[in-house]
Amino acid sequence: MTWLRGAAKQPLVQFALLGTAVFLVDHWRSSEAETIEISAATRHEVAKGLERSLARPPTPQELERGVEEWLDTELLFREALALGLDDNDAVIREHLARKLEHIIKQRSILAPPSEAELLAQLEAAPERYRGPETFTLTHVFIRRSVDPKAHRQRVDEALAKLAAGAEPRSVGDHFPRGPTFTRMMKPQLEHIFQTRLSEALKAEHVGTWQALNSARGTHLVRLDGVFDGRRDLESLKPALTEDIQEKKKQAALQRYLAELRKKHAIEY
């Protein structure tokens, strides 16, 4: 501790310590006690936040802990402002700006969009509301055999039976995924069959049987339907409404910013 006593005798150190003491005393004397109200609304907001994070309503004990944490945060926030810690802090500046932006957008009371607005939104960006292309097909599997000639003969016999109208389930060998695949995407089907399907899934092949080879055997595939992902207006209403409302909220924010610009002298 000798070095500490020695350092304390240095003029520069004494000046720094004195400055710190003056700052703390001045801050203590100038601080006025502020009332922090933990209202019913505050408790409600804390409870809602806990319910979102816990995926269930909080217990009374959890709510009390949440309120205490809110109070701790509020105390630290107010003290940080009093000490000027927010000055020129880019993170705090950005956070507060985004928070106010969120409040402005959320306080906008918007009427449900009209049918005309929904249609206009859909027509403006049809690809945004289109799902992936999907396919429905029927499948018969012929397991690969040691003798290629015998395998080819089995494939031809199966195709002949299918052309004559035989029930697909009665033809061929067992396949774990069954004979029917409904509204599936091309990558999913290629993963199941372990073979490329780009040519087989063209709309021109709907209704005809095609033989496709893979390492496991031959897949006899009948393309039953091609769906381009377009959806009807009724099923799209929630997504269209959300996008329209967001545009309106963004417009409300721009109007608010325009008014703020009028209130301030801005120099470039």
The two structure tokens encoding residue 153: 């003969």
pLDDT over 70 (residue 49): yes
Q: Where are the domains of the chain?
A: 1-29, 131-227
Task: Summarize the confidence of residues 13-29 as an average pLDDT.
Answer: 46
How sure is the predictor about 28, in pLDDT bands with cuts at 50, 70 and 90? very low
Residue that wins the pLDDT comparison between 22 and 171 = 171
* Average pLDDT for 80-86: 79
pLDDT at 33: 61
Which top CATH class is 131-227?
Answer: alpha beta
Which CA distances in Å does 165 have to 4, 158, 169, 170, 247? Answer: 100, 11, 12, 11, 55
Structure token pair of residue 47:
């409870």
pLDDT tens digit sequence for 200-239: 999 999 999 999 999 889 999 999 999 988 888 899 999 9
Long-range pairs of 95-103 with CB within 8 A, sequence gap ≥ 24: 101/253
d(CA 229, CA 165): 31
**Residues 93-124: b if buried by 16+ CB within 10 A, e if exposed:** eeeeeeeeeeebbeeeeeeebeeeebeebbee
Instruction: Compute the distance between CA of residue 255 and CA of residue 262 in angstroms, rounded to an integer.
Output: 11
Comparing 83 with 235, the larger pLDDT belongs to 235
Query: How far is the C-alpha of 230 from the C-alpha of 124, rounded, in Å?
Result: 14
Q: How large is the angle between the packed helices 115-124 and 233-263, nearest 10 degrees?
A: 90
Model confidence pLDDT, tens digit, residues 128-187: 998 899 999 999 999 998 889 999 999 999 999 999 999 999 999 999 888 999 999 999
User: Other C-beta atoms within 10 Å of 137: how many?
Assistant: 24
Q: What is the pLDDT of residue 3?
A: 43
Confidence of residue 32 (pLDDT cuts 50, 70, 90): low
Residue 226 forms beta bridges with which residues? 135
Q: Is the pLDDT of residue 14 over 90?
A: no
Nearest to 201 by CA among 132, 144, 249: 132
How is residue 164 annotated by DSSP?
Answer: T
> Which pLDDT score is estimated for 11?
52
pLDDT, one tens digit per residue, over 87-141 is 778 888 888 888 888 888 888 778 899 999 999 999 999 889 988 999 999 999 9
Dist CA 155 CA 169 (whole Å): 15
